[in-house]
Amino acid sequence: MTSTSIAASIRTNPVVVRRLLGLLRRSGLVDVSPGPHGGATLLHAPETMSLRQVYEAVEHAPVIALHPGTSDDCPVGRYIATVLAKVADSAEQALLAQLGTQSVADVVRSLSTAR
């Protein structure tokens, strides 16, 4: 599919789709052919490609972002980042573990039964 057709399907700008496809290409998950007759193709069988691989290819920010500028003068602000970092790390690890159990093929199968 072309980035324009994918963008129309998910109601976003084709530039956003091209940026994501670039990240997926750099991670070795897709091949991208430019031009009006180009498109993106998976480089691996969908059964062998986990959602974790896809997520890690396109997401570089933590699931829970922590504010870096809390005040050391505040009894809460002084320790909140340390406390919440443990929660955020646990949530991130749980997400990655769950995504690792699902393949792109699982999503495709779910789409076919959702009708």
* pLDDT of amino acid 65: 86
Q: What is the DSSP letter of 11?
A: T
* pLDDT of amino acid 67: 84
Is residue 23 scored above 80 in pLDDT? yes
Query: Percentage of the chain surpassing pLDDT 90?
Result: 67
Of residues 28 and 1, more confidently modeled: 28
Of residues 9 and 67, more confidently modeled: 9
Is residue 115 scored above 80 in pLDDT? no
* pLDDT of amino acid 36: 77
Q: Which residues contact 101 (CB under 8 A, 6 or more apart)?
A: 50
CB 6 within 8 A of CB 17: yes
Tokens 């970092």 correspond to 85
Interatomic CA distance for residues 45 and 32, integer angstroms = 16
Q: Which architecture characterizes domain 1-43 according to CATH?
A: Orthogonal Bundle (1.10)
Domain extent listing, the chain: 1-43, 49-107
Is residue 86 scored above 90 in pLDDT? yes
Output the average pLDDT for the chain.
92
pTM over 0.85: no
